[in-house]
């Protein structure tokens, strides 16, 4: 589906996002340095954004599983800005999240990040 990229990773145990962040925060990732980010009511792990519409997120995906996905830039303030821009431009501002070089780069980073987390054998 356009603009969506999700990979699932199985871990050896059920980590909280905070525990997982502690385990990976000093590791080298192709997508960059991970950060613990507050998004709504949840904490997620994010990597530096490609642009405001393309960022790699790591979220809980069920017992012992992670969901690595491409999303808009995380954070309560950023989500509000993106929603406003999409409203003002009738959705045109969000098109870079679906098409273009940056979207393809973020999709590639989802794949690579999933492989790199799997290689850590957590």
Q: Per-residue confidence of the chain (122 residues) as pLDDT tens digits?
A: 456 789 999 999 999 999 999 999 999 999 999 999 998 888 999 999 998 889 999 999 888 899 999 987 775 555 545 554 454 555 554 445 566 788 899 999 999 999 999 999 99
Helix (H, G, I), strand (E, B) or coil at 51: strand
Reference 14, options 81, 68, 61; nearest CA is: 61
- In this prediction the pTM is 0.80
Helix (H, G, I), strand (E, B) or coil at 118: helix
- Take residue 111 and report the two structure tokens written for it: 């794949």
């Amino acid at each position: 589906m356009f603009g969506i990229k999700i990979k699932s990773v199985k871990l050896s145990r059920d980590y909280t996002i905070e525990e997982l962040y502690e385990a990976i925060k000093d590791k080298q990732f192709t997508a960059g340095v991970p950060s613990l980010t507050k998004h709504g009511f949840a904490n997620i792990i994010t990597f530096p954004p490609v642009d405001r519409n393309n960022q790699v997120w790591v979220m809980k995906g069920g017992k012992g599983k992670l969901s690595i996905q491409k999303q808009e830039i995380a954070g309560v303030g950023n989500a509000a800005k993106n929603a406003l821009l999409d409203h003002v431009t009738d959705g045109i501002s969000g098109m870079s999240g679906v098409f273009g070089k940056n979207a393809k780069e973020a999709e590639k980073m989802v794949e690579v990040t999933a492989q790199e987390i799997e290689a850590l054998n957590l």
